Amino acid sequence: MYSELTFENVTPNETNFDRYQLMRHSQAPEEIEVFFVKNDIAHNGVGEPGLPPAIGALANALYKATGQRLTELPFGNQIRVKKLVG
């Protein structure tokens, strides 16, 4: 939604989390399905397998809610909110 790195004279302006806003749990899709495929590759940890598809799931949820197909990050800069009547 918000994550964007900007630079000034090749130095990042967002140097810590107080200047780099992350998506909150309450803003993420309610359900993300993660499947583990059995294979012969050695285990390397499974701590964050749901994180990479979260952006795609959020993009699809925003499209369903707004009709806008968002294709660039951060999404927050692109969302046009229509006033709901009724």
Secondary structure (DSSP) of 30-41 = S-----PPP-SS
Summary mean pLDDT of the chain: 76
Q: What is the pLDDT of residue 82?
A: 57
Q: What is the pLDDT of residue 81?
A: 60
Q: What is the pLDDT of residue 24?
A: 76
What digits encode the pLDDT tens for the residues 50-79?
667 778 888 888 888 888 888 887 887 777
Strand partners, 6: none
Q: What is the pLDDT of residue 58?
A: 83
Domain boundaries, the chain: 7-39+48-77
Higher-confidence position of 84 and 37: 37
Q: ∠3-48-35 over CA atoms, to 5°? A: 120
